[in-house]
Each structure stands twice: as C-alpha cells, then as structure tokens.
Amino acid sequence: MTSGTGDHQSRIEPGMQTDFKERMDYGSYLGLDLLLAAQKPLSDAPDELLFITIHQVQELWLKLAAHELDGAIAAIKADELQPGFKSLARVSRIQAQLISAWDVLSTMTPADYLAFRDALGQSSGFQSHQYRAFEFRLGAKDPRMLAMHKHHPEHHDHLKELLEAPSLYDEALRLLARRGLPVPAECIERDWSQPHVANKGVKAVWLSIYRDTHTYFDLYELAEELVDVEDQFQQWRFRHMKTVERIIGFKQGTGGSSGVKFLRTALERSFFPELWQLRSEL
C-alpha cells in the first residue's frame, strides 16, 4: 500500500526500537561481528568461501549436539528419561542439518576445489576435536586419536576426559542394570577408554525389552532414540563419503588419510550393535 504521494508506507510499528546506542541489539547479542569475520579465504578461488562456511556451520551444529548429548547422558544417569528423550530427539534433528549441509557443498565441482585445495595444507576435517568428542560421547573410543590434538592442551585434556568416561550407550546399559535387568558385569564396569564390544548377554536384555514393551516402554523408547541417533550419524558419514568421492574421487585426503577408502571404514562400525542385531530375532 502506498500513500497519495507515491511513497511506500513505513513498516516500522509504534513501539519498535530503533535507537540502539546504549542498548544490546541482535548483532551484539549473537556476536555477529566476530562470527562473520571468521571466514578468511587463503586464495582468490570463489568457492573457498563456500568450503569454509559449510565447515564452520557444521562445527556450530556439533557444538550444540555435544551440549544436547551431555544433557542426555546426565538424564540417563539420573534415571530421568523424559528430558533425555528430548535431548536425543534434538540431536537427531541437528544431524539432519549436518546431512543437508553436504548437499550444498556438493555443488562444488572438482575444478572448483582444486583451485584452492593447496591452500588447505595438511588441515582436514578428520582433525576436528568437536567431531572426535561427538564420536567419543557415542562410544567410538580410540586412545590413538588423542595424538593429533596434543598440540592443543585444552582440547587434548577434554578429549581424554571423554575417552575415559562412560559413553551414552555405556550409561544406557548401566541404567538397565540399575533397573534389575541382567546386563553382564563386564559391560557396566570396565575400561571406558575402549569401545563397547557386541555382547550376547546385552542383546538378550534388549530383546526382553522389545518383546515386552508394555512393561519396559520407557527403556524401549530409549532404545529407539539411540537407534535414531546412530541412523542419522551413519547417514551423515555416508553423505560425507559420497561428497568427497564426488569432488576428489579416490585421491589421498589433505590430512594424509586414504580419503574415500578411509571414510568407508567408518560405515562398518556401529555404536549400539545389539540394537541393530536384535531386529533379525524379533
């Protein structure tokens, strides 16, 4: 709608704040000056900004996912599953955002990437301490992974703490034991720095829960929330692998890994193996 003079009607409503000289505004609350200054391409290649932005956005989502996983772990330890379910559901939604980010990066062609790949040096997403922390929380423990973070003591110490603490699945199994279910002792008191190994006794416990969902509905729901998280994580891994294959084929990764071949090995590993195995026996 326009006035008789042909000017557009103002969209500023009475009461809208327009003077922020001594007030906090949107940009200052979010720290946007710092955030938007963090994209610093090292080349003149136009697609380097895309590459940096996608990976920075993924790091922000990983930070939030870690926060939610910590909340879920704390809830399970306290046997307060409802807030834990909310946190795990949010993690799954966050992972959907991580997966969709690869769709944007996939618009970059091999020639686009080669225009700035040398500027990356030896840096690689494999070195992300937040990604490693996310895997450790889910149970993908490997003490050797600490080596690449020794140059950053704060990150190294945090990862070491997570490595030596029970994972999300470990706490779930300890909860089952506290509920009186016959979880094998070697699965609830062990060296937490090592990954959980599929156990027939654990599978039998989960089977009993799935076969009597009326009695154990909250534990059944916990199991399905865990499956959701792993399902989404595996889809993220797959999209990562296919995006890398689409852009660089089977070349060696910038960090020295075998690239696509290395990423494929992760697809064969499960965080919660018994929850997948039992489906064949129901």
The CATH number given to whatever domain includes residue 173 is: 1.20.58.480
158 is in an annotated binding site: no
240 is in an annotated binding site: yes
55 is in an annotated binding site: yes
210 is in an annotated binding site: no
237 is in an annotated binding site: no
Question: 218-245: b or e for each residue (b if 16 or more CB lie within 10 Å)?
Answer: bbbbbbebbbbbbebbbebbbbbbebbb
- pLDDT bucket at 267, cuts 50 / 70 / 90: confident
18 is in an annotated binding site: no
131 is in an annotated binding site: no
Taking alpha carbons only, the member of 38, 49, 39, 35 closest to residue 105 is: 49
This model's pTM is above 0.85: yes
- Does residue 55 form part of some domain? yes
Domain that holds residue 63: 47-278
- How many domains are contained in the chain? 1
Longest dimension (CA), the chain: 82
Taking alpha carbons only, the member of 58, 73, 194 closest to residue 128 is: 58
214 is in an annotated binding site: no
Percent of the chain with pLDDT over 70: 96
- Does residue 9 form part of some domain? no
If one compares 249 and 267, the residue with the highest pLDDT of the two is: 249
Interatomic CA distance for residues 26 and 30, integer angstroms: 6
- Alpha carbons within 13 angstroms on the beta-carbon side of residue 111 total 0
- DSSP for residue 190: S
Most confidently predicted of 11-15, 16-20, 27-31, 121-125:
27-31
247 is in an annotated binding site: no
Tell me: pLDDT of 4 over 70: no
Is residue 163 within 8 A of residue 213, CB to CB? The reply is: no
Is residue 35 within 8 A of residue 93, CB to CB? The reply is: no
Lowest mean pLDDT among 13-17, 49-53, 156-160: 13-17
- Does residue 7 form part of some domain? no
- Does residue 17 form part of some domain? no
Percent of the chain with pLDDT over 90: 77
- Does residue 99 form part of some domain? yes
In the predicted model, what is the mean pLDDT of the chain? 91
- Does residue 62 form part of some domain? yes
* Residue 201, helix vs strand vs coil: helix
- Does residue 110 form part of some domain? yes
- Does residue 264 form part of some domain? yes
